[in-house]
Amino acid sequence: MIIRRSGPFYTLLNTGPIAEFERDLIRERTSAGRNAALTRGVRFGRPRKMNDEQRTLALRLVSEDKSISEIAKTFKVHKATVYRLLDKVVVTE
């Protein structure tokens, strides 16, 4: 068997380990950046649709027997958002 050390095939064989090394470097830098952001207090993810005051008011409206649809329309959120709020309150209590 003869192995040629020149040409595109040999070049492709050599790029695999380099690509893995570079990917590891990217992963380390990304992880370091995320950790630095967390220490600065950056919050990741989608912003909340309702703030604490709105959530408290929505719960009060539920206790006053307002319909979920009315509450959702009042705060311009989907009904599922209100139901998730209720689920969190039931689970924590």
Residue with tokens 């952001």: 37
pLDDT at site 40: 96
Q: Any residues with CB less than 8 A from the CB of 62 and at least 6 apart, and which?
A: 68, 71, 82, 86
- For 1-34, what is each residue's pLDDT tens digit? 455 566 666 656 677 788 899 999 999 999 999 9
Alpha-carbon distance of 75 to 50, in angstroms, equals 8
- If one counts every other C-beta atom within 10 angstroms of the C-beta of residue 1, the result is 2
The answer to whether domain 52-92 has CATH 1.10.8 is no
- Contacts of residues 62-71 at CB distance under 8 Å and 24 or more positions apart, as own/partner, are 62/86
Q: Is pTM beyond 0.85 here? A: no
- How far is the CA of 15 from the CAs of 12, 19, 23, 25, 41, in angstroms? 5, 6, 12, 15, 39
Q: Tell me what pLDDT residue 18 has.
A: 84
Q: In the chain, what are the domain boundaries?
A: 8-45, 52-92
Residue with tokens 């912003």, as numbered in its chain: 47
Span 31-84, pLDDT tens digits: 999 999 999 999 999 988 999 999 999 999 999 999 999 999 999 999 999 999
